[in-house]
Every structure is written in structure tokens, then in C-alpha cells.
Amino acid sequence: MKKRLLVMLLALAMGLTLAACSGGEDKKPDSSSSAPTASPSAGGESAAPAESAPAGDESDLAYVKDKGTLVVGITNFEPMDYQDANGQWIGFDADMAKAFAASLGVEVEFSEITWDYKVFELEAKNIDCVWNGMTLNDEVMAAMGTSVPYCQNAQVLVVPADKAGDFENLTSLEGLNVAVESGSAGEDAAEALGAATIPVQKQADTLLEVSAGTSDAAVIDLLMAGAMIGEGTSYDNLTYVLNLNTVQGLESENYGVGFRPGSDLVEAFNDFWAASVADGTAKTTAETYGVQESVILD
Amino acid sequence: MALLEVHQIEKHFGATQVLKDVSFELEQGQALAIIGSSGSGKTTLLRCLNFLETPDQGTIKVAGETLFDAEIPAARSEAAIRKKRLHFGLVFQSFNLFPQYTALENVTLAGKLLAKERADYKAGKKQILAEIEAQGRELLAQMGLSDREKHYPHQLSGGQQQRVAIARALALRPDILCFDEPTSALDPELTGEVLRVIRALADQRTTMVIVTHEMAFARDVADQVIFMDGGLIVEQGPARAVIEHPREDRTRQFLSRYAKN
Amino acid sequence: MFFASAEFQTVFAALNTGFVRTLKLFFITLAGAIPLGLVISFGSMSRFPPLRWLTRLVIWAVRGTPLVLQIIALYYVPPLMKLFSWGSGESGRFTAVAVAFVLNYACYFSEIYRGGIQGVPAGQQEAGLVLGMTRRQIFFQVTLLQMIKRIVPPMSNEIITLVKDTSLARVIALQEIIWMGESFLKGNQGYAGLVWPLFFTAVYYLAFSGLTTILLNRLEKKLEFFR
């Protein structure tokens, strides 16, 4: 509800500006290809579209099928969503998203988003789902319709390799400056362990902080740490030492896919996932990207 | 019938009345000098004639045609005024030449823009523009500025700039040419060349209204003189008579202050 | 040779793609804001008080809030309020960002214009009126060039700022050059953990702002024929 209030406030301020400026500037018409009107089968299209709530459409599935495209909100996140040398999106999540779209009979479109605004992006219908190694924390579960967990993850502490010994067996991060991605699960973990956090825009930026010595350590996803630091990267001077979930005595985190609240796409995804596990395509795809240890295959 | 008839003009700026019941007439081919101290209303009167200010009361007629009547607000629309102003030309104290145009362009610009409104403009464009250019050159020659046609205002002395401004005002062939203290912004050694040009215009029987502080010049060049004080015409009459033998005390005081300076 | 390496070629191509978006945003902003700013400046000098107050209120609101906030609000609020959508994908983001930039810069430009117009002596207008020119003729034939001469130095400052401000567009994931530079930190087209592309983007900004400065100085020189 707090978020809704914030949106209303923003809208009020901007509405004022828009209304005042509209004399000089054309209002952009709805883009015809992706106008957020309900599909005919949805039936519930009201005369004043401004009054229909985000989840008020009868069927999100029908909406996506009607426009023929599933827009997948991602950030660049190896090994889940990243571009190959030809600029095509690949990765475990990207490949599964392509298969999911195919199962619905629609095209897939990947749209890079700013992670902090993922809920806005969904509700504004700029994207239809967030599918990017998203940790299912309380905040995400409250704001989105979320799928069954499909992958396990943990938060790890990244430190300079030559100082790795100093960090082993720590039970608290008090007195340390720790770089985290703003709004990430890693930020929560670092704060819970008493670190002074330095929030930056991207997980990748946290590594720059540690490498440059402006932060003592960083907290990022285990999956990402596996791909981005150590031998063969620009960060061969970094290593990861602690599983913060273990330190906190928490269970592993789960990755899930986020849809609009109340969307029937959740159910469609869950069915798709169960089928993919059953016929082995999930496992094959996981092995392609070396994440079979983390993906939940039972 | 007089060429210019000004009748009972009144003007207020807020609560201050700057023109009170101003009436005078001017015959074709005569020069009228308006004298008086700063704040006496003489510049405002000139600006009223040129529609830069709108009088609150009174009428202005040229050759019998009513150009302004305070009773008829409808006649004050921008478009209606624009044509009427062309009966008058105005030379400003601070020249107000257009800095991005050469001397010749300054003189011909307005004429070229007005020519576009002529019915035969499309057909005879080349010839019309050539005529305007030729007339502009002639006017500059008359001002003794033939060799300055292509100069920009900032490359000219103050006296030269004011002579270009006079040529510019003459280019539209106004019935009445007005001067607002034409030499006040000039160094003393440059006033002579401008006064000589105005004197030459008077000799050619150009109808003129000249607001000036040059008493000797007013006496020698003008046919009529009006002395204003506090927004009123205190005294008017033949130039030599008013300046050499003023009847009113206030005129006498004003002139004696000038004689001392 | 590093500049011949596959790594450099890949990064270079990606940065170029991002820089084309940066340039597109830059030129669209100028093309929209330069004339719109003039319209707004007329509004802020209107002889009709309600229009004047309204325009000044808008200018105050736009200049008084950060551009980055305007971009976020303009992109997300209309679809969230079910007013209209910008369309999905790259083109929708670009349209929203472009509208935000045009509006923002038009308001800044309008204040510069206002200063420029009001700085032209009233005598210029009066001289035009006395010569029977229409207000339109006076503006275009007399005032405009004098105003341009006055506003070139402050406009140059704003335009150089605009070159750099385009980087704010990445807040809603418009993939301009800095976004592309950062993408190689996280991993892009087979390269991950590369730090240098981000800093290499400075070369583009420096080259472009250098070129812009030279052109604007040349314009300033061109207008020196009068004072």
C-alpha cells in the first residue's frame, strides 16, 4: 500500500506538469502495437480505462496471447540472461523464457530494465514478467504474482584474494564497508550482519568497488560470483569466502519468476515448469550453462 | 487648412498627468520646434504623434483625415495604427539603428517589407526593389554618406549614425518628420553636421516637428515654436518672437537658464 | 595490438551503438527544445496574465525538479495511471526520455530566450513600429538576430551540459553509451568483468563536446560583424 501511495504522489506532481505543458507538447498517442487495453475475450473493458486496476483484467494470459508477444524484463546477468557474441540473449533464464513463450504460442521479447523499478515496469505493462534470477523475498512476493521456486541461490561475500584469510569464519560484518546492489537480497543480508552498506546500481558495480579498494567487500549472488570473478576475468584478484545464508542460519534463497499480482500467467508458468522438469528439458538447459547444481529439478 | 491639427490631447501615466489640453496646428512646409525642460511633456507629445503612446483624450488629424480620436477605441487596433503611423517619421535621440544591417540596409529595410504588400509586387519585384535601393542611395548621398553605404552602425560615428537614421525616416516619405532631441546623445563637435542636415531639410520645405534643446537652432530654423512646461503649452508663436521676446514669465525663466549655460 | 583485438572490436561496436542513441537523443532534444523554448518564452512574457503565470509555474516546476525524476515520472506514471502507454521496448523508452528532455531543456532555453529578448533595447522595437513594420516583421527582421547574438554564450553552456545529461536516460534502462560501457562489467557478448569500456566512454564525450564547442565558437565569431 505504501508503494501505491508513492505512485499516487508522483502522479499528482507529474500530472500537474503534464497538464500544464500539454499546450505546447503533443501527448504521445498509445502505441498501437502494445496498447494496454484489454483483449476482446477479456470482456471487462470499461469505458474509462483509467479506472481499471492493474490486475482488473480478466486474463493476463489472454492479454499476452492477444498481442502475440511476451515481454521479459531482465538485467544483464550471466549465466541467467546475457548476450552472446552476436548480441542474442542467452542464458538459463533466457532459454527457458524462449521455451515458455513458444509453449504459449507467442513471440518473446527481452527488455533490459532498471532493477529498482521492476514493479513499476510490470504494472505499467512495459514488461509482462521479471525473469532474471530474482530472489523470492518478502518484498517481491508482496508486490508480484510469483511462480514456484526454480533455482536455489545464496549470497556470498566477495573480497580481495590476498586478504581472503582475514574473512574466514567471520560471524558478523560489523565495521566493514560492504558494496551491495541497491534493493537486492544481498543488501538485506549485509545489513542483517551489521555491515555499513554502500548501495550501487548494479551487482557488477560492487565488484568495481572492491577492486578499486573503495569498499572492503561486496555481497552478490553465488551464481554471479561463479561467473564473474576469478581466473580469466578482469577480477582475478577477487574471490568469495562466505555463504551469508549459512552465517545467518537461513535457508538458501529461491529464484522465481514474477508476474503481475493475480495474473493467470503464474499458473501457466508453473505448468510449463513442471512439464520441463518432467521431460528433461530443464535439466539439459541447466547443464548448458553449468547451473544444474542450483536448479530445482525434483 | 493646416496639415497637422492636434486637438486637446491629454495623457496620464498612472496618477501623473503629463499632457494637459495640448492643441496646436502646423502648416504644410513649416518647421515647428518644441522646447521646454526635461519632464515638460514634449517627448511624450512627440511619441503620441507617432502612436508610441496612446493619448487619453483628444484628436489628431493630418490633411483633414482623423488619425486618432480618443472617443473611438476601435480605431486603435494594431493593423489600423500601422498604416496611420506612416504619415509620420521619427528620428530618435539614441538613433536606434538596426545594428545587424548596413547603413543602406537600414534605410531600405522598411520600404522593402512594405513593398511586399503591393498588388504588383510579384510581377515587378526586381524593379521595385531596385527603385528602393536607388532611392536609399540617393538619400544617403543627400546626407553626405555615399561612402558609408556598406558600413555597419558600430563602424560609424554618432553624427553619421544619426544622419543614417534621418535618411531611414525620410525613406518612407512621411508627411511630417519628427525629431526627438536629435543631437542630445552626440558629442558637441558632432552636433553641427546633424543640425546642418536638418536645416537643409527645412530649406526644402519639409514639414517637421523638432523637440530640441538647441535654442539658437530653433530660432534660426523653425518657423513656429512651442514652449511647454508641466504638460501644458505655455506659449506658442513665430520662432523668433517666442525665443527673443517671450511674453510669459515661465518662458523667460527657461530661456535665461539656457542663455547662461 | 590491443586496438585490433576481438575484445576491443566487440566493445567498440557496442559503444558505438550506445553512442548513436546518445546522439539521437541529443539532436532530437535540440530540434524540439529550441523552437518549443521560444513558444514557452513568449508564454512567460505574455500580456495575458493567466497565461504568463501558468507558463512561469511550469518553468518553475521543471527547473525546480531533477531531470532524472522527470524521466522516471514521465515514463512510469502515465501507464500506471492508465492514461496512455509509451509502447514497450526500446522505442517506448526512447520516446518517453525524448519528451522529458525536450520539455526540460525547452524550459531552460525559454529563460535564456527571455533574457535575450528583453535584453534587446526597447528602441529597436519602437524604431520598427515607427517604420510601419508588423510585430512579426520586427521580431524576425530586427529582434531575432540581436537576441541570438546575446544568447549564444549561455546556450553554449546548456548545450554542452546536454551532451553529458543524455547519460541520465539510462535510469529507465535506455541503453545509451554509459549503459553499454557498464554492460561489460556484468557480462555482454562473451566479455565479463571488463572495467575499461566504462571509462573509455569519456573519449566519446570529450570528442563530441569538443566538436560542439568549436562549432558554437564559430557561430559566436560569425555574429561578431555587428555589436
Give the structural domain span for A96. 62-151+254-298
Q: Is the pLDDT of residue A150 over 60?
A: yes
C71 lies in which domain range?
Answer: 2-225
In this prediction, residue B261 carries a pLDDT of 52
**Shortest Cα distance, chain B CAs vs residue C28, angstroms:** 30
**Rounded to an integer, what distance in angstroms lies between the CA atom of residue B88 and that of residue B50?**
6
Q: Which residues of C touch B162 (CB under 8 A)?
A: none
* Residue of chain C minimizing CA distance to B171: C131
Do B154 and C227 count as a contact with CB atoms less than 8 A apart?
yes
Question: Amino acid identity, residue A105?
Answer: G
Of A10, A112, A113, the CB nearest to C73: A10
Judge: B98–C126 Cβ closer than 8 Å, yes or no.
no
Closest Cα in chain B, distance from residue C127 (Å): 6
Is C77 an interface residue toward A (CB < 8 Å)?
yes
Place of cell 539439459: A284
φ, ψ of residue B177 in degrees (nearest 5): -105, 125
Rounded CA-CA distance A50/A39 in Å is: 16
Considering only CB atoms, A82 lies closest to which of C73, C82, C187, namely C187
Of A10, A11, A34, the CB nearest to C88: A34
C-alpha span between A19 and A270 (Å, rounded): 43
Distance to chain B for C222, nearest Cα, Å: 12
Q: Which of C111, C132, C139, C130 has its CA nearest to residue C41?
A: C111
Mean pLDDT over C189-194 rounds to 74
pLDDT (average), residues C152-176: 91
Q: How confident is the model at residue C154 (pLDDT cuts 50, 70, 90)?
A: very high
Distances (CA, A) of A22 to A26, A67, B111, B203: 6, 30, 40, 62
The answer to whether B62 touches B248, Cβ cutoff 8 Å, is no
Residue C109 pLDDT level (bands cut at 50, 70, 90): very high
Q: Is residue A28 part of a domain?
A: no
More confident residue, B91 or A152: B91
Q: What is the pLDDT of residue A26?
A: 38
Strand ranges (E), chain A: 69-74, 82-83, 89-90, 107-112, 129-135, 145-146, 151-153, 155-160, 177-181, 196-200, 217-221, 238-243, 253-259
Same domain, A74 and A213: no
Residue A144 shares a structural domain with residue A197: no
- Residue A210: pLDDT above 60? yes
Residue A229 shares a structural domain with residue A266: no
Measure in Å the smallest separation between the Cα of B100 and chain C Cα atoms.
5
In a domain, A50, yes or no: no
Q: Are residues A202 and A163 in the same domain?
A: yes
Q: Do B114 and C124 touch (CB under 8 A)?
A: no
Give a yes or no: residue A53 inside a domain. no
What pLDDT does residue A55 have? 46
Let me know whether A241 and A265 are in one domain.
no
> Which residues from chain C sit within 8 angstroms of residue A205, using beta carbons?
182, 185
Which has the closest alpha carbon to B239: B255, B221, B252?
A: B221
- Whether residues A77 and A215 share a domain: the answer is no
Residue of C77, C82, C91 with shortest CB distance to A52: C82
Shortest Cα distance, chain B CAs vs residue C143, angstroms: 9
Cell matching residue C84? 496512455
pLDDT attached to residue A21: 41
Mean pLDDT of C144-165: 93
Give yes or no for C87 touching A (CB within 8 A).
yes
Residue A17 has pLDDT above 50, yes or no: no
Tell me the pLDDT tens digit for each residue of C78-94: 888 888 888 777 788 89
Say whether A109 and C79 touch across the interface (CB within 8 A): no
With beta carbons less than 8 A apart as the criterion, state whether C128 and C138 touch: yes
Q: Do C126 and B85 make contact, defined as CB atoms within 8 angstroms? A: no
> Considering only CB atoms, which chain A residues are within 8 Å of C182?
201-202, 204-205
Number of domains in chain A: 2
With beta carbons less than 8 A apart as the criterion, state whether B211 and B181 touch: yes
Please state, in angstroms and rounded to a whole number, the distance separating the CA atoms of residues A47 and A102.
33
Contact B96 C127 (CB under 8 A): yes
**A39 assigned to some structural domain:** no
- Phi, psi dihedral angles at B158 (to 5 degrees): -55, -40
Cβ contact (<8 Å) for B82 and C227? no
Q: So what's the pLDDT on residue A241?
A: 86
Q: Does C64 touch chain A (CB under 8 A)?
A: no
A10 shares contact with chain C (CB less than 8 Å): yes
Contact C225 B152 (CB under 8 A): yes
pLDDT at A18 over 50: no
- Please judge whether C146 and B168 are an interchain contact, meaning their C-beta atoms are less than 8 angstroms apart: no
Same domain, A178 and A138: no
Band of residue A200 on the pLDDT scale cut at 50, 70, 90: confident
Given A221, A247, A273, the domain boundary residue is A247
ipTM above 0.95, yes or no: no
Do residue C126 and residue B82 have CB atoms under 8 angstroms apart?
Answer: no
Q: Are residues A176 and A226 in the same domain?
A: yes
pLDDT for the residue B260: 57
- The least confident of A114-128, A199-213, C157-171 is A199-213
Quickly tell me which residue has 480505462 as its cell: A49
DSSP letter for each residue of A229-253: SSTTSTTTTEEEEEEHHHHTTPPPE
Tell me, yes or no, if A225 comes closer than 8 A to chain C by beta carbon.
Answer: no
Give the span between the Cα atoms of B221 and B199, in whole angstroms. 6
Q: Which of the listed residues A208, A228, A247 is the one where a domain comes to its end?
A: A247
**Sequence-separated (6 or more) residues with CB below 8 Å from residue C32:** C98, C101, C102, C106
Which CATH number goes with the domain that contains A189? Answer: 3.40.190.10
B209 neighbourhood in chain C, CB within 8 Å? none
Is B96 in Cβ contact with C126 (below 8 Å)? Answer: yes
Contact A17, C61 (CB under 8 A): yes
Q: C133 in contact with B at a CB cutoff of 8 Å? A: yes
Quick check: A50 and C84 CB within 8 A?
no
Does C142 touch chain B if contact means CB atoms closer than 8 Å? yes
Could you say which residues of chain B have pLDDT below 50?
none
**Among all chains, which residue has been given the C-alpha cell 539614441?**
B94
Domain CATH number, residue C67: 1.10.3720.10
- For chain C, what is the radius of gyration of the CA atoms? 21
Beta bridge partners of A197: A178
Nearest CA-CA distance, residue B240 and chain C, Å: 31
Domain final position from A247, A267, A290: A247
3-state class of A157 per DSSP? strand
Q: What is the pLDDT of residues A33-49, one digit of tens each?
A: 333 333 333 333 333 33
User: Which residues of chain C does A228 touch, with a Cβ-Cβ cutoff of 8 Å?
Assistant: 186-187, 192-193
- Across the range A207-234, mean pLDDT stands at 83
Q: Which of A118, A114, A19, A31 is nearest to A76 (CA)?
A: A114
Spatial contact of C26 and C166, defined as CB atoms under 8 Å apart: yes
Residue B163, pLDDT score: 96
Q: Is A169 on the interface with C (CB under 8 A)?
A: no
Q: Are residues A234 and A98 in the same domain?
A: no
Q: Which chains touch A (3 or more CB pairs under 8 A)?
A: C
For position C166, what pLDDT does the model report?
Answer: 94
Classify residue A37: in a domain, yes or no. no
Which residue of A24, A125, A208 is in closest CB contact with C36?
A24
- Our CA dihedral for A167, A172, A176, A177, rounded to 10 degrees, sits at 110
Q: Does C70 touch chain A (CB under 8 A)?
A: yes
pLDDT at residue number A28: 38
Beta-sheet pairing, B31-35 with B208-211: parallel
Q: Where are the alpha helices (DSSP H) in A105-171?
A: 118-123, 138-143, 164-167
What Å distances lie between residue C159 and A115, C68, C94, C108, C163, CA to CA? 30, 17, 20, 11, 6
Report the number of distinct structural domains present in chain C.
1
Is residue A27 in some structural domain? no
- Cell digits of residue A251: 535457508
Residue type, C185: L
Say yes or no: A224 and A271 in one domain. Answer: no
Q: Does position A4 have pLDDT exceeding 80, yes or no?
A: no
Per-residue model confidence as pLDDT tens digits over C15-28: 999 999 999 999 99
Q: Do C86 and A77 touch (CB under 8 A)?
A: no
Mean of the pLDDT values across residues C213-221? 94
Contact C124 B96 (CB under 8 A): yes
- Chosen from C65, C88, C95 to mutate, greatest number of chain A CBs within 10 A: C88
Task: Please tell me the distance from the alpha carbon of residue B108 to that of residue B147, in angstroms, as a whole number.
Answer: 16
Segment A64-71 shows an average pLDDT of 94
pLDDT of residue C65: 95
DSSP code of residue A30 = P
CB-CB under 8 Å, C132 with B83: yes
Residue showing cell 525616416: B169
Q: For position A203, what pLDDT does the model report?
A: 82
pLDDT of residue A42: 37
Give, as one character, the DSSP assignment of residue A81.
B
Tell which wins on pLDDT, A6 or C214: C214
Find chain A residues with C-beta within 8 A of C103's C-beta.
Answer: 17, 21, 25
Q: Note whether C77 contacts A87, CB cutoff 8 Å.
A: no
What chain C residue is nearest to A29 in terms of C-alpha separation? C84
pLDDT recorded at residue A49: 38
For residue B166, what are the CA distances in angstroms to A247, B137, B163, B172, B179? 93, 13, 5, 11, 9
A47 located within any domain? no
- Kindly state the average pLDDT of the residues A149-169: 88
Task: Sort out which chain C residues have CB atoms less than 8 A from A36's CB and list them.
Answer: 79, 82, 85
Q: A24 and chain C: CB distance < 8 Å anywhere?
A: yes
Report whether pLDDT(A296) > 80.
Answer: yes
SS (H, E, C) chain C: CHHHCHHHHHHHHHHHHHHHHHHHHHHHHHHHHHHHHHHHHHHHCCCCHHHHHHHHHHHHHHHCCCHHHHHHHHHHHHHHCCCCCCCCHHHHHHHHHHHHHHHHHHHHHHHHHHHHHHHCCHHHHHHHHHCCCCHHHHHHHHHHHHHHHHHHHHHHHHHHHHHHHHHHHHHHCCCCHHHHHHHHHHCECCECCCCHHHHHHHHHHHHHHHHHHHHHHHHHHHHHHCC
Residues A135 and A259 in one domain: yes
Mutation site for A-interface testing, chosen from C11, C67, C69, C85 by largest number of A Cβ within 10 Å = C85
Instruction: Give yes or no for C122 touching B (CB within 8 A).
Output: no
Q: What is the pLDDT at residue A298?
A: 77
Q: Looking at the complex, does the CB of residue A87 fall below 8 Å from at least one CB of chain C?
A: yes
Asked, for residue A228, whether it belongs to a domain, the answer is: yes
Closest residue in B to C132 (Cα–Cα): B82
Burial of B38 per CB tally in 10 Å (0-12, 13-18, 19+)? exposed
As a dihedral over the C-alpha atoms of residue A169, residue A173, residue A174, residue A175, rounded to 10 degrees, the angle is: 100
- DSSP annotation of A39: P
Q: Do B92 and C127 touch (CB under 8 A)?
A: yes
